[in-house]
Amino acid sequence: METSSKQLRIGLAGLGNVGSGVYKNLLLNRHILQDRTGAHLQVTRIAVRDPNRKRDVDVSPEMLTTEWRDLIDDPQIDVIVELIGGDDEAFKLITAALKAGKAVVTGNKAVLAKHGKQLIELSEKQNTPLYCEAAVAGGIPIIKAVKEALVGNRIDSIYGIINGTSNYILTRMTKAGISFSEALGEARDKGFAEADPSLDINGWDAGHKAIILGWLSYGRWLKPEEVSVNGIETISSEDVTFADSLGYEIKLLGVIRQNQGDERIEVRVAPSLIPRTHILSSVDGVFNAVAVHGNVVGETLFYGSGAGQDATSSAVISDLADVAENLINEVGCTGFVPHGDYGVALPLEETLSQYYLRLSVVDEPGVLARIANITGENGIGILSVIQPEPKEPSEHIPLVLLLHDATYGTVSTALKAVLALESVESEHTLLRVETLER
């Protein structure tokens, strides 16, 4: 791939929030970038859905096209930045760009989670790099850190708060004592939640990122349907209050780990109780944080803005700087080094943790003893119990149990028997308690 003298010509697909940030910040820091990369990074053409839409950046109409294929067909363009979002169309765009020998920068975590194996193989076959720092944790350079700075480590575990919208909602529920729906409304009003926030609150935005981190750490892709993902929709103010009284905060947590000697990979996302003594519990609002434990370096923590125009565009521009350096110096394909195939997911039933269980029980003697008998028969210890006095007469009262380490399958079996008791209502909340020790 050739570039003109000290110039990287960029085709930008998408001029929405992030695309506008990339265009704006490339202009803002063009002199810094030129000094640091030795190249002039210039957007020469932009593909948009609606060229007449009012935007925050001033772009010449001659630069716009409604067909992303025009970027692929333009021989003057060296690199394509894919920021159109979605799945199928973005996959077609990235595939076409790589086949045309153009480097690609993308922030599309959904495409990578679903098609990453094929795209990485194509990148290698074409000797054309694919970069995706912006796909995970916004402005936090977590991909570069794991891929480059921690390359000498076996990754023991990664724990990540990697969705800003859900973290904002849970923070407001904890700090302000408001309900889930009220916190979601606030997030929308402040622009922290999309008009359709389903991927944020159902956990799948974080799930896609966790799949990418799992591949990066262990060299195997897991298919989305093999990954356990739960969102925060069912978290109540009552659960937040009980977690606080036990010394925990509830966070939507991504867990990526692999036990030594076991080829199976554990990748899951769920709202979890985190000890207030751990630094991850203090990550509030729209901020993200990723704790990576390497067998040489020990625990490292990466913290910063996980979303937003400037944070995400910073990650895209970082990748563009790498593209400039590598293409001008004719280094070749230096994006992800492809290896491995589809991996085997550790079955959810075999995943191990402590648990928070909130039940609604009849206010009568002997209920706790019957429940404890069931957990004991299943080999599950009870760490602590909260059974608050009812503020007013009620047939049912909450009962909160903190359960010792057990597999999810064992806890599920015990829970089924508990819910079959006449004195226990079917309504319940089961959350993991993560000690974050490794």
Instruction: Indicate if 290 and 162 belong to the same structural domain.
Output: yes
Domain range for 293 is 142-305
77: in domain: yes
Residue 337 lies in a domain: no
If one counts every other C-beta atom within 10 angstroms of the C-beta of residue 428, the result is: 16
Whether 171 and 267 map to the same domain: the answer is yes
Q: Which residue has the tokens 């021989």?
A: 75
pLDDT at position 239 is 96
| Co-location of 299 and 313 in the same domain | no
What is the predicted pLDDT for the residue at 195? Answer: 79
Q: Is residue 335 part of a domain?
A: no
Q: Do 12 and 130 belong to one domain? A: yes
Do 70 and 170 fall within a single domain?
no
Catalytic residue among 209, 223, 251, 416: 209
Residues 51 and 190 in one domain: no
- Check if 391 is active-site: no
CATH number, domain with residue 128: 3.40.50.720
For residue 421, give the amino acid letter.
L
Q: What is the CATH number of the domain that holds 159?
A: 3.30.360.10
- 364 in the same domain as 290: no
Domain's final residue, options 243, 273, 305: 305
Q: What is the mean pLDDT of the chain?
A: 92
- 413-432: average pLDDT: 97
- Statement to judge: residues 21 and 130 lie in one domain: yes
Tens of pLDDT along 147-183? Answer: 888 989 999 999 999 999 999 999 999 999 999 999 9
- Three-state DSSP string of the chain: CCCCCCEEEEEEECCCHHHHHHHHHHHHCHHHHHHHHCCEEEEEEEECCCCCCCCCCCCCHHHEECCCHHHHHCCCCCEEEECCCCCHHHHHHHHHHHHCCCEEEECCHHHHHHHHHHHHHHHHHHCCCEECHHHCCCCCCHHHHHHHHCCCCCEEEEEEECCHHHHHHHHHHHHCCCCHHHHHHHHHHCCCCCCCCHHHHCCHHHHHHHHHHHHHHHCCECCHHHCEECCCCCCCHHHHHHHHHCCEEEEEEEEEECCCCCCCEEEEEEEEEEECCCHHHHCCCCEEEEEEEECCCEEEEEEEECCCHHHHHHHHHHHHHHHHHHHHCCCCCCCCCCCCCECCECCHHHCEEEEEEEEEEECCCCHHHHHHHHHHHCCCCEEEEECCCCCCCCCEEEEEEEEEEEEHHHHHHHHHHHHCCCCEEEEEEEEEECCCCC
At residue 331, the pLDDT reads 62
243 and 186 both lie in a single domain? yes
User: Taking the model in full, what pTM does it have?
Assistant: 0.93
Instruction: Flag whether 341 is in a domain.
Output: no
CATH number at residue 386: 3.30.70.260
Residue 155 lies in a domain: yes
357 and 324 inside one domain: no
- The tokens for 157 are 């575990």
Number of domains in the chain: 3
Does residue 343 belong to any structural domain of this protein?
A: no
Spatial separation of the C-alpha atoms in residues 353 and 407, rounded to whole Å:
7
Query: 222 and 250 share a domain?
Result: yes
Residue 102's nearest CA partner among 119, 86, 116, 81 is: 81
Determine, yes or no, domain membership for 115: yes
Residues 109 and 196 grouped into a single domain: no
Of 246, 251, 240, which is closest to residue 160 (Cα–Cα)? Answer: 251
| Closest alpha carbon to 408 in 354, 343, 344, 372 | 354
Assign 337 a pLDDT band (cuts: 50, 70, 90): low
- Residue-wise pLDDT for 32-89, tens only, equals 999 999 999 999 999 999 998 988 899 999 999 999 999 999 999 999 999 998 899 9
Q: Does residue 316 form part of some domain? A: yes
